């Protein structure tokens, strides 16, 4: 990490916490000399990140062919207001992972990956909702990226101004940002006696 290396962190615990907390990630790859960055749902099992999608999906085809990809996840924790515009910043946690893709062939790993994706979105959902049928499983491509290298970049704390700017009559501080989950909205065709599950009532990341 060359830019602000003091913010770099390289331990798997820090990196994987960011990847697991983020609802989506972005996958960067080059296809026919054209760069793409695709937002998508993901799930991690140990040192492997899984994705699922349609067989004809451009990103999925790229990954299943064994090509290299870059996966990023970012969490924004606050806007940092400094006394000078130059030193405005954000408090954030980000992770960048590199690896080569592969197609998930075995039924056991494919099922485990789809379970992990479901649980990544909401723990407990897989056991309550209908699981994929054999036809749906056949229509779904699951790919894996085995992580070869990774790093995290984290900023916390207040504004860092030039010493001579601390006396300026300008407000400085941090505006915290938190992902907020609202009241669940019932599907209009939901039977009246079905109540909201606890894992949805208490949903958090």
Q: Where exactly are the structural domains of the chain?
A: 5-201
Q: What pLDDT does 107 receive?
A: 95
Q: Region 108-126: what's the mean pLDDT? A: 97
Q: What pLDDT does 2 receive?
A: 61
Q: Region 65-79: what's the mean pLDDT? A: 98
pLDDT at 14 over 90: yes
Q: Region 182-187: what's the mean pLDDT? A: 94
pTM of the model: 0.91
pLDDT at 123 over 80: yes
What CATH class does 5-201 carry?
mainly beta
pLDDT at 3 over 70: no
The Cα–Cα gap between 15 and 9 comes to: 8
156 touches 77 (CB < 8 A): yes
**Sole residue written with tokens 């209009």:** 188
pLDDT at 151 over 90: yes
Give percent of the chain above pLDDT 90.
93
Minimal CA–CA distance to 43: which of 118, 150, 141?
A: 118
Contacts of 41 (CB under 8 A, 6+ apart): 23, 24, 51, 52, 117, 120, 121
Q: Give the bridge partners for 96, in sequence order.
A: 72, 151
Give ∠ CA 183-189-193 in degrees, rounded to 5: 70
């Amino acid at each position: 990490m060359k830019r602000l290396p003091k913010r770099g962190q390289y331990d798997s615990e820090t990196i994987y916490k960011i990847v697991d907390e983020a609802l989506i990630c972005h996958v960067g790859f080059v296809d026919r000399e054209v760069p793409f960055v695709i937002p998508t749902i993901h799930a991690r099992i140990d040192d492997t990140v899984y994705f699922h999608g349609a067989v004809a999906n451009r990103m999925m085809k790229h990954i299943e062919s064994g090509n290299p990809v870059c996966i990023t996840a970012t969490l924004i924790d606050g806007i940092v207001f400094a006394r000078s515009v130059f030193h405005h910043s954000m408090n954030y946690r980000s992770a960048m992972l590199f690896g080569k893709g592969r197609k998930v062939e075995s039924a056991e790993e494919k099922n485990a990956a789809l379970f992990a994706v479901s649980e990544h979105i909401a723990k407990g959902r897989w056991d309550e909702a209908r699981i994929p049928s054999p036809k749906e499983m056949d229509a779904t491509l699951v790919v894996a990226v085995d992580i070869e290298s990774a790093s995290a970049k984290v900023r916390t704390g207040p504004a860092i101004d030039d010493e001579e700017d601390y006396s300026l009559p300008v407000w400085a501080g941090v505006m915290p940002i938190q992902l907020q989950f609202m009241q669940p909205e019932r599907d209009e065709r939901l039977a009246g006696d079905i109540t909201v599950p606890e894992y949805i009532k208490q949903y958090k990341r």
